[in-house]
Amino acid sequence: MLRDNEFDIVVVGSGVAALCGAVAAASRGRSVCVIEKTAYFGGTSAYSGGSVWLPGNHVLERDGVDDSVAKGYTYFHSLVGSRTSEERQRAYLETGPALVDFLENTAGIPLEHRPFPDYFDAPGRSANGRTVFARAITAEEVGPRLNEIRPMVPADQFGIDVDRSVLDGGQAWVARLVMALDRSGNAELALNTTVEELVQDEAGRVVGVGVRATDDETGTRRVVHARLGVLVAAGGFERAAGLRQVWQQMPTADWSSSHPDTGSGDALRMLDSVGAELDLLDQSWWCPATLFPNGHAAFTLGLRAGVVVDDSGRRFANEMLPYDRMGHAMRARMAAGHSPQFWFVFDDRAGDQLPAICVPAPDAGEMREAGLWHTAPTIAELAAAIDVDAEALTNTVARFNAFAEAGHDQDFRRGEDPFGRFFVGATSAAQCLQPIEGTRFHAVRLVLGDLGTKGGAVVTPDGAVKRADGSTVSGLYAAGNSAASVAGAVYPGPGVPLGSGMVSAYRAVGDMVRHLTPA
For the chain, domain boundaries: 6-240+454-515, 294-448
Section 363-379 average pLDDT: 98
pLDDT surpassing 90 at residue 268: yes
Q: At what angle do helices 86-105 and 16-27 cross, to 10 degrees?
A: 70
Q: What is the mean pLDDT of residues 176-187?
A: 98
**Residue 1 in this model has a pLDDT that exceeds 80:** no
pLDDT surpasses 80 at 208: yes
218: left (phi over 0), alpha (psi -120 to 50) or beta: alpha
For the chain, what percent of residues have pLDDT higher than 70?
99
For residue range 219-231, list pLDDT tens digits in order: 788 999 999 999 9
Residue 97 Cα distances to 100, 192, 457, 510, angstroms:
5, 34, 25, 15
Question: How high is the pLDDT of residue 424?
Answer: 87
Predicted pLDDT of residue 133 = 98
pLDDT of amino acid 129: 87
Per-residue confidence (pLDDT) for residue 218, from 0 to 100: 80
Question: What are the pLDDT digits (tens) for 6-45?
Answer: 999 999 999 999 999 999 999 999 999 999 999 999 999 9
pLDDT of residue 216: 85
Give the mean model confidence (pLDDT) for residues 60-73. Answer: 96
Q: How far is CA 83 from CA 31, 128, 235, 294, 469, in A?
A: 36, 26, 21, 38, 18
Classify 442 as helix, strand or coil: strand
Q: What is the pLDDT of residue 128?
A: 86
Q: Which of 444, 264, 469, 265 is nearest to 371 (CA)?
A: 444
Q: Transcribe 364-400 into DSSP letters.
A: HHHHHHTTSEEEESSHHHHHHHHTS-HHHHHHHHHHH
pLDDT at 68: 97
The CB-based long-range contact list for 423-429 (8 Å cut-off, 24+ gap) reads 423/301, 423/302, 423/303, 423/304, 423/320, 423/357, 424/302, 424/304, 424/320
| CATH 3.90.700.10, domain 294-448, yes or no | yes
- β-pairing, 166-167 vs 137-138, is antiparallel
Distance CA 280, CA 20 (A): 24
Lowest mean pLDDT among 89-98, 247-256, 280-289, 507-516: 507-516
CA distance 36 to 215: 13
Classify 6-240+454-515 by CATH class.
Answer: alpha beta
Tens of pLDDT along 459-489? 999 999 999 999 999 999 999 999 999 999 9
Two domains, one topology: 6-240+454-515 and 294-448: no
Tell me what the pLDDT averaged over the chain comes to: 96
| Beta strands 32-35; 187-190: pairing state | parallel
Whether residue 517 is predicted with pLDDT greater than 60 in this model: the reply is no
The conformation of residue 185, written as its DSSP 8-state character, comes to S
Give residue-wise pLDDT tens across range 407-429. 999 999 999 999 999 988 999 99
Burial of 399-421, coded b for 16+ CB within 10 Å and e otherwise, reads bbbebbeeebbeebebbbbebbb
SS (HEC) of 283-333: CEEEEEEEECCCCCEEEEECCCCCEEECCCCCECCCCCCCHHHHHHHHHHH
**Distance in angstroms (rounded) separating the CA atoms of residues 201 and 420:** 53
Looking only at the bridges linking them, the beta strands covering 297-301 and 111-113 are unpaired
**How big is the chain by its Cα radius of gyration, in Å?**
23
Q: What is the pTM of this model?
A: 0.97
Q: How far apart are the first and last CA of the chain?
A: 24
d(CA 2, CA 223): 10
pLDDT at 399: 98
Beta bridge partners of 377: none
Please determine, for residue 315, whether its predicted confidence score (pLDDT) is greater than 60.
yes
Q: Whose CA is closest to 108, among 183, 13, 32, 17?
A: 183
**DSSP 8-class letter at 252:** -
Specify the DSSP element, H or E, that contains 449.
strand 441-453
Reading phi first (left if > 0) and then psi (alpha if -120 to 50, else beta), residue 315 is in: beta
pLDDT of residue 515: 79
Phi, psi of 207 (to 5 degrees): -120, 5
Cis ω before 360 (30° cut-off from 0):
yes
